Amino acid sequence: MGEPDATFTRRELVALLANAFDAPGQPGVTAPAVPVPPPAPAPGAPPAAAPAAPAAADPAAPPPKATPPGFNGDVAKFDAAVGPDAHRKLCLYAFAALTAPKDTALNLMGLDLATRLRYARPGLRAHYNANAQAAFTLDRFDDALAFPDAPSFKMPGGRLEYFDGQYNAILMVATAGKYTFEATVDDGVRIWIDGNPIYGTAAGLLGAGASAPVDLTAGLHDLRVDYSQGPSGAALNVFWSSPAVPAPAPGVAGPPASPGVEKHVIDKTLTRALKPAATQPAATQPATAPAAAAVEKK
């Protein structure tokens, strides 16, 4: 009998290791079968018949499958089993695939690997800091760009004013086409796609506006949103829309929409955020976003 083919490409090996890292359970451990007791007989019922003897095992039958090995996201156990610094090296591989130029299939594979390695997660990576008064910084992940008022930002100590926020994420676009990005804001917001400024309001303004239509290919795009809050009220809501997306049915709750076009909040259903790691190059400061035409003064 010939030896089984144990040759893997590097990509297949990385995928297997990423799956093992994400899978629950412990490596190489088979979950024991838990015996289920028979139900208790009803009062007055005749005694149950003795259970039949178990059938003899079929020697030709394949052995039972063991529980897939898994590390449940434990980096220390994974590195101990696979090799020193193994998880970080796999994240480097995933990041290289994720950012490869002009290769959508490779980018999507990189994002899948990053997700299985728990290096990427749904939502947006957020950084907050004070722009006046008492200093503070806060780094966290947010599920959506949907903050209707100052308390919804949940700033440290219940802070309601004088703070800035920066949000970074990978935007997953399913269908190529023209996309419009809209915002309602108090005070200022600027939006970039793939490092290009597409929309912005001046700080100290309250209102709503929209970008010009942006041509996006299917695949992954970089999204950055900068927010600035001054005194008194605060709000930030960012939406996307495309003619390819049908309008909601009559009576369905949702944000206002142009005829035939539905607006969607930018949230974790279409964004992925990379966790802070040495695998990422230093961020570059993009150019200033264009001022929006449709804004109103406070």
How many H-runs (helices) and E-runs (strands) does the chain carry?
4, 15
State yes or no: pLDDT of 115 exceeds 90.
Answer: yes
Specify whether 110 is located in the same domain as 193: no
State yes or no: pLDDT of 137 exceeds 60.
Answer: yes
Contact 295, 205 (CB under 8 A): yes
State yes or no: pLDDT of 13 exceeds 50.
Answer: yes
Specify whether 110 is located in the same domain as 134: no
State yes or no: pLDDT of 55 exceeds 90.
Answer: no
CATH number (domain holding residue 161) = 2.60.120.380
In a domain, 39, yes or no: no
Quote the mean pLDDT of the chain. 78
What is the value of pTM for the model shown? 0.74
Summarize pLDDT for 240-264 with one digit per residue, the tens. 998 866 554 444 344 444 445 678 8
Specify whether 165 is located in the same domain as 194: yes
96: nearest Cα among 254, 235, 274, 285: 274
Total structural domains within the chain: 2
Q: What are phi and psi of 251, to 5 degrees?
A: 90, -5
Specify whether 213 is located in the same domain as 235: yes
Specify whether 266 is located in the same domain as 174: yes
In a domain, 138, yes or no: yes
Specify whether 15 is located in the same domain as 147: no
**Looking at 94-103, 118-127, 287-296, which range is the least confident one?**
287-296
Specify whether 104 is located in the same domain as 166: no
Q: How confident is residue 63, by pLDDT bands cut at 50, 70 and 90?
A: low
Specify whether 83 is located in the same domain as 195: no
Summarize pLDDT for 65-111 with one digit per residue, the tens. 444 568 999 999 999 999 999 999 999 999 999 999 989 999 999 99
Tokens of 268: 């974790």
The Cα–Cα gap between 221 and 191 comes to: 13
Specify whether 200 is located in the same domain as 179: yes
In a domain, 75, yes or no: yes
The domain of 68 spans 8-29+64-118
State yes or no: pLDDT of 43 exceeds 90.
Answer: no
- What's the pLDDT score for residue 49? 60
- What's the pLDDT score for residue 39? 52
The Cα–Cα gap between 171 and 223 comes to: 6
Specify whether 174 is located in the same domain as 263: yes
The position carrying tokens 């966290």 is 140
In a domain, 266, yes or no: yes
**Looking at 12-26, 87-101, 281-295, which range is the least confident one?**
281-295
Summarize pLDDT for 166-225 with one digit per residue, the tens. 999 999 998 889 999 999 998 899 999 999 999 988 655 667 888 899 999 999 999 999
In a domain, 44, yes or no: no
The Cα–Cα gap between 197 and 225 comes to: 10
